[in-house]
Structure 1
Amino acid sequence: MAQKPSIPKGTRDFNPQEVSKRNYIFNTIKQQFELFGFQPIETPSFENSETLMGKYGDEGDRLIFKILNSGDFLKKVKDDLYETKDSNKITDKISEKALRYDLTVPFARYVVQHQNEIDFPFKRYQIQPVWRADRPQKGRFREFYQCDADVVGSNSLWQEVEFVQLYDAVFSALGLEGVTIKINNRKILSGIAEVIGAQDKLIDFTVALDKLDKIGEAKVKEEMLDKGISESGIEKLQPLFNLKGDFSAQIEELKSILSASEVGLKGIEELEFINNGVSSLGLKTAKLQLDVTLARGLNYYTGAIFEVAAPEGVAMGSIGGGGRYDDLTGIFGLKNMSGVGISFGLDRIYLVMEELDCFPETVSEGTKVLFINFGDQEAMACIKAVKALRENGIKAELYPDAAKMKKQMSYANNRNIPYVVLLGESELNSGTYTLKTMKTGDQESLTLNDLISTIQ
């Protein structure tokens, strides 16, 4: 007996209803992107390894899927290197390409490669799948879609204000009310590292701090100690763990904590500008919240950092995130090109909308009318009517086989098709169509024009 086929862990098949719901999210996000002036681009699913490696920190690099070279990929590996069993060193010899980890680094590569064709500031959006060799769990997959919007070529903090507005607009349009847009600034994190004497361990510090909501305060402190941050420095962090109050109250306390750090105070100034702009414009359903422990763990952020939390009561990780990355294109040779961007986590948004029953009933509407097949002569007349209905924007189809009536009716029921049309010998002779409403069982005899207007 043949083994039942399967798919890799962390990947999924999607049935027609699920695809319809996903497309609803895609289309809603795309509509808002374009309302805000963003233009679409696409990049390859895989990049040269050198484009991706070293851009996400050590933890990110470990999660990048490597693609083996074509042909006899072990031929270039010398015996002494092979004997070391050092996978990192061998990988460089047998793999030159990798699946993209996110859409931001490929976008930076795109900007540098096409800089002479782009009008700056360049506002792009991109909706494509990405891959991460992560441990699969609820809301975390190895293959998933990202929906990104970025602006490059402007230092203006009005871009950050606009992105908060964009988050609010998208989630309001999706009916996801009560999301929290968390914000921090990488300069504040640098200032904190400076104050506690851990400037040389900024990456270790931020990676540990970013895990606060996942592993708790005690484990975060333990990880910092393991990374070589002193106990006295960690003690100075205590006011951060206890920071409370609204945005303005937290800002005032931060000014006291970071009074000796020029970079930290600059970060506070930027956050105040963004908050004042957002407060003046107002938000529909989202709320903006300062979270000084938010780090996102990615090396390329240099200014504001965003993360979106699902509405209260929904157990889900972040459903969006992003930030400013002043130095990202510099790694590809294009200096002084500031950028800022955000991402929507399609798969997690889907799960949250399912849990909160946010999808409209019409989102999965498919075929509206099925023509019953009584044989070739009747089928030809049905096909002509089907064509007329489609030309009037009605989703219609003919059952392909002249099967038993019960089987055809069951097919319509199973697919939730609301109407069936019976076109038998008597209807052919009278030039009419019998329309049956599946929900009630009611039937009526109609001309083609009446049939179209009734179904519409």
Structure 2
Amino acid sequence: MKTAGSIPAFLVFSYFCSSNKKQTMAQKPSIPKGTRDFSPVEMARRNYIFDTVKEIFQRYGFQPIETPAMENLSTLMGKYGEEGDKLLFKILNSGDFISKVDEQELQERNSIRLTNKISEKGLRYDLTVPFARFVVQHRNDISFPFKRYQIQPVWRADRPQKGRYREFYQCDVDIVGSNSLLNELELVQIINDVFNQLRINTVVKINNRKILAGIAETIGESDRIIDITVAIDKLDKIGLEKVNLELLEKGVSQEAVDKLQPILKLSGSNAEKLDQIEAVIGASAVGKKGVDEMRTLFAYLSGFELNAEVELDLTLARGLNYYTGAIFEVKAKDVQIGSICGGGRYDDLTGIFGMPDVSGVGISFGADRIYDVMTQLELFPEEAVASTKVLFVNFGEKEEAYCLPILAKLRASKVNAEIYPEPAKMKKQMTWADRKQVASVVMVGEEEIAQGKVTLKNMKTGDQQSVTPEELIKILSE
């Protein structure tokens, strides 16, 4: 048999079957690379980190704010250097965005110019630039010095790899409206307190952008300070030889690169390094100021016993262009991973939004990398995971009616408690409790109801005891 157009009927039938199958086939669930889902156990552990950080931020007098996930691209562009701008996630304009672009611009295939036409917003790259925008926009509603903390996700179009994600949380703490180096001292103390409480051994690396500016001036390349800092910042990742090659490719002279070598290899105690670098860049006014600031900060720090190791690292640059003074980077000693905290001073970040001469300093904790470190080192306490403290086993309607008022009293006493929603088999309910890592279960049968008691079972030891509802509340509230 033939169909119209002389196509065999069996081929037509086969095509429609195949087409229909494709339409009804379930889509394979997936998420974008560099992002992650988090299970209840993982969320409990993440919240343990957030709660620890938040508690310490508040201890030092910082207040919380939030800003939108997306900002105007005019707010974000040009604040992170050329490489940072490339990592911004842009959001397409609503509606028929391409209709506003003429044919010639499409043919030119100039991605930067085209982006400006079809995208006006972007996902935030960090929390610092949106904070600067917030300060200027709300300057009449806040008191200076303004101490804020912010815990929200950020997005970067980076290549995903171990410890590097496209969506991740930052826990920022900043002070704006004060030039005092006491603020830098407090930030180091916060770093020490956070990682001490999380039981992570760390080294806090500190440098000063004024010292780096002094180095650039001393080697005769002041106009290439950004190129120099961006290259130096990669020293740990790519090594000295490749850093030198990148500097030469950026147009830094061979003579300047040669002068830079002994500076990059300075060693000794923090005080000795400062003496050595001052001898090299002391003729630079900005470099001398940076050295003086570091001496003051280390003098402050000498008055405190810190668990964290604090090291002056003259190769630390941090690639973000807005830093102008002290810069910080924190690394875990016991795990090979990138920095888990970093930041620095920025003297005029608000100036680009029309509010000049407002100095600020802040640090950002990388919650996702901290999570990875704690997971690898098994540092999460058991109580960080447990959500439900006790589960009432459900044996039927009569037992439900007896248990529900006790359950309500436990919750009123701030005990996390629940009841299995249906009278399923005992094994199923106990397996469910075990998988949820519930610490105890309460069992009530006819005998317990007659006695006005309940049976409390410890899921870890298997021990059981018969107690009154009042005794149960007292035991579980301890």
TM over 0.5: yes
Q: How does 1:391-430 map to 2 (within 5 A)?
A: 391-430=412-451
Q: Which residue in the other structure is 1:249 paired with?
A: 272
2:294 and 2:143 mapped to 1: Cα distance?
28
1:212 and 1:405 mapped to 2: Cα distance?
60
Contact persistence 1:168–1:283 (CA under 8 A): no
1:256 and 1:226 mapped to 2: Cα distance?
29
Distance 1:411 1:97, change over 3 A: same
SS at 1:123 equivalent? strand
Q: 1:6 aligns with which of 5, 8, 30?
A: 30
1:270, CA displacement in angstroms?
0.8
Q: Which residue in the other structure is 2:15 paired with?
A: none
Tell me the alpha carbon deviations over residues 393-433 of structure 1, each in whole angstroms, 9 at most, x when there is no partner: 22211100111111111111222223222222333333222
Contact persistence 1:372–1:421 (CA under 8 A): yes
Contact persistence 1:165–1:283 (CA under 8 A): no
Q: Which residue in the other structure is 1:175 paired with?
A: 199
Q: How does 1:19-168 map to 2 (within 5 A)?
A: 19-168=43-192
1:380, CA displacement in angstroms?
2.3
Q: Which residue in the other structure is 2:19 paired with?
A: none
Q: How does 1:307-456 map to 2 (within 5 A)?
A: 307-311=329-333, 313-456=334-477
1:40, CA displacement in angstroms?
0.8
1:343 and 1:153 mapped to 2: Cα distance?
18
Amino acid at match of 1:290: L
Q: Which residue in the other structure is 1:237 paired with?
A: 260
SS at 1:336 equivalent? coil
Contact persistence 1:46–1:99 (CA under 8 A): yes
Tell me the alpha carbon deviations over residues 283-313 of structure 1, each in whole angstroms, 9 at most, x when there is no partner: 32012111111110111011111111112x3
2:211 and 2:372 mapped to 1: Cα distance?
33
Tell me the alpha carbon deviations over residues 239-284 of structure 1, each in whole angstroms, 9 at most, x when there is no partner: 112200000110111011103211111111111111111112x232
2:150 and 2:105 mapped to 1: Cα distance?
40
Q: Please, what TM-score do these two structures have when normalized by structure 2?
A: 0.92
Q: Which residue in the other structure is 2:216 paired with?
A: 193
Deviates more, 1:9-18 or 1:410-419: 410-419
Q: Percent identity between the aligned chains?
A: 59
Q: Which residue in the other structure is 1:276 paired with?
A: 299
SS at 1:117 equivalent? coil
Tell me the alpha carbon deviations over residues 358-410 of structure 1, each in whole angstroms, 9 at most, x when there is no partner: 22221112212211112223222222221111112222111001111111111
Distance 1:31 1:442, change over 3 A: closer
Listed as ranges, the gaps of 5+ residues in structure 2 are 1-24
Q: 1:220 aligns with which of 243, 254, 279?
A: 243
Q: Which residue in the other structure is 1:296 paired with?
A: 318
1:453 and 1:260 mapped to 2: Cα distance?
71
Tell me the alpha carbon deviations over residues 27-53 of structure 1, each in whole angstroms, 9 at most, x when there is no partner: 111111111111111111110110000
Q: Which residue in the other structure is 2:10 paired with?
A: none
Amino acid at match of 1:438: M
Amino acid at match of 2:323: Y
2:474 and 2:234 mapped to 1: Cα distance?
59
1:162 and 1:200 mapped to 2: Cα distance?
33
Q: Does 1:285 align with 2:322?
A: no
1:57 and 1:92 mapped to 2: Cα distance?
17
Tell me the alpha carbon deviations over residues 314-349 of structure 1, each in whole angstroms, 9 at most, x when there is no partner: 101111111111010000010111111111111111
Amino acid at match of 2:218: V
Q: Which residue in the other structure is 2:5 paired with?
A: none
Moved over 6 A (4+): none
Distance 1:444 1:170, change over 3 A: closer
Listed as ranges, the gaps of 5+ residues in structure 1 are none
Distance 1:435 1:241, change over 3 A: same
Q: Which residue in the other structure is 1:306 paired with?
A: 328
Q: 1:261 aligns with which of 257, 271, 284?
A: 284
Amino acid at match of 1:147: C
Amino acid at match of 1:63: L
Deviates more, 1:215-224 or 1:13-22: 13-22
1:186 and 1:410 mapped to 2: Cα distance?
58
1:16, CA displacement in angstroms?
1.2
1:337 and 1:314 mapped to 2: Cα distance?
38
Q: Please, what TM-score do these two structures have when normalized by structure 1?
A: 0.97
Task: Say which one has the larger Rg.
Answer: 2
1:440, CA displacement in angstroms?
3.6
1:129 and 1:120 mapped to 2: Cα distance?
26
